[in-house]
Amino acid sequence: MILAGLVWSGAAGAAGAPDLATHPSPRTDEALVLPREDGGAAVDPAVAANFLGAVEAYRQRDFEVARSLWEQLADLGVGPAQHNLAVMYEHGRGGAIDLAKAAHWYRKAAEQEVPAALTNLARMHLAGRGVGREAAEALRLFEAAAQLDYAPAQYNLGIAYLEGRGVDADAEEAAEWFDAAAESGYGPAQYNLAALYLRGDGVEADAEEAMRLFAEAADGGDAMAHFALGALHYQGQHVARDPKAAARHLHVAADAGVVAAQMRLAVLYARGDGVPRDAETALMWLDIAAGLGDPSAVKNRDAYAARQPPGVLARAQRRARTFQPKPPRAATALQ
C-alpha cells in the first residue's frame, strides 16, 4: 500500500505479517565482568582495590588508567581482569585496537573458565578477527560457556544452530538454546525464541507465547523487541490493531537506531496514523535511516520530499543531523 509516496515495508506472506528478522548475530558484548563471588578463595585486598579502581576509571571513561590497572592484574593471573583487558584491546579503549592481544587475553581468561571470555574468543574465531577463522573451535567455546549458564553464549549457540554455523542447521536445537538464555532474561534470545514461536519453526506455533516473549524482551530494554511489537500492533497481527501502541514501540526502536523502525515510523508520520501527520518529522526519520545506510530510505526521502513545500526537507535534515542513538539500556555495562 502506497500513501504520499511511502510504503509500509516488510510485509511477508499472504497474511501480511511483518518479516521479523533474526536478532543481529553474532552478538558483540563489550560488557566488563566483575570477580565472581562464588564462595571460593578470598580475594587479596590489594587486588580487589586495584580491580575496583579500574572499574571506577572505566566508568569515568579514563580508559588509560583502567587499562593500566587491569594490565597489572592480568599479569598476576586474575581472570576477570584478563577478560576486561581483552575488551580494551578489542575495542581500542585506552589505546590502539590490537586484535591479537585481545585474543591472547581472552584465551588466558577462557582457560580460567571466565564465561564472557570463552564467548568473546568464540566470536573472534567465528569472524577470523585476531585468530584463525574456525567455526568448530567457536562452537566448542560457545558450548563451554553455555554449560556455565552464560546467557550470551547460549544465545550465540542458538544462532549457530539456527543459521548452520559450524553445525548442521537445526531449528529445534536453536530453540532449546534460545530458551535457556531467555530464562535468564536475555533480550536477544527472548526475541529470537518469540520469532520462532510466531513462525512455528523448531517449536509448535504459539502466537500468545511469542507476544509474551516479545513483551518481556521489550520490558528488559531490547530495541528489536520494541520494533517487533510496533510492527505487530500496526498490522493487527496476533494482537488488536493499535496504531498508537505501534508508534510508541517504534519510537523506542527508532531512537535506538533500528533502521527498520525508523522507516516505518516515517510512514506513520506521513499518514498521520497513530501520531499527528507531520511531513517534516517523516522526512527527518527517512534522512536518519538514509544516513545509517538504507538505500530505500534515500529513494523514499527524495520522492516524498518532492511533494512537500520548499524548506521542509532542509529543516528535517537539520534535525536529523542532531540524532544520536539512545538504546533502551546502555550497550556497555558492568555485569
**Per residue of the chain (335 residues), what is the pLDDT tens digit?**
233 445 444 433 323 345 555 665 545 555 677 776 444 455 688 888 999 999 999 999 999 999 999 999 999 999 999 999 999 999 999 999 999 999 999 999 999 999 999 999 999 998 999 999 999 999 999 999 999 999 999 999 999 999 998 899 999 999 999 999 999 999 999 999 999 999 999 999 999 999 999 999 999 999 999 999 999 999 998 999 999 999 999 999 999 999 999 999 999 999 999 999 999 999 999 999 999 999 999 999 999 999 999 999 999 999 999 999 998 863 333 32
Q: Kindly report the pTM of this predicted structure.
A: 0.84
Angle between helices 115-127 and 99-110 in degrees, nearest 10: 140
Rounded Cα distance between 235 and 203, Å, is 24
- The x, y and z cell numbers of residue 228, run together, are 517487533
- Other CB atoms within a 10 A radius of the CB of residue 56 amount to 13
* Secondary structure string (H, E, C) spanning the chain: CEECCEECCCEECCCCEECCCCCCCCCCCCCECCCCCCCCCCCCHHHHHHHHHHHHHHHCCCHHHHHHHHHHHHHCCCHHHHHHHHHHHHHCCCCCCCHHHHHHHHHHHHCCCCHHHHHHHHHHHHHCCCCCCCHHHHHHHHHHHHCCCCHHHHHHHHHHHHHCCCCCCCHHHHHHHHHHHHCCCCHHHHHHHHHHHHHCCCCCCCHHHHHHHHHHHHHCCCHHHHHHHHHHHHHCCCCCCCHHHHHHHHHHHHHCCCHHHHHHHHHHHHHCCCCCCCHHHHHHHHHHHHHCCCHHHHHHHHHHHCCCCCCHHHHHHHHHCCCCCCCCCCCCCEC
* All structural domains of the chain with their residue ranges: 223-320
- The x, y and z cell numbers of residue 60, run together, are 569515568
Rounded Cα distance between 104 and 89, Å, is 10
The domain defined by 223-320 folds into: 1.25.40
Phi, psi (deg, nearest 5) at residue 82: -60, -45
Asked if 8 and 234 count as a contact pair (C-beta separation under 8 A), the reply is yes
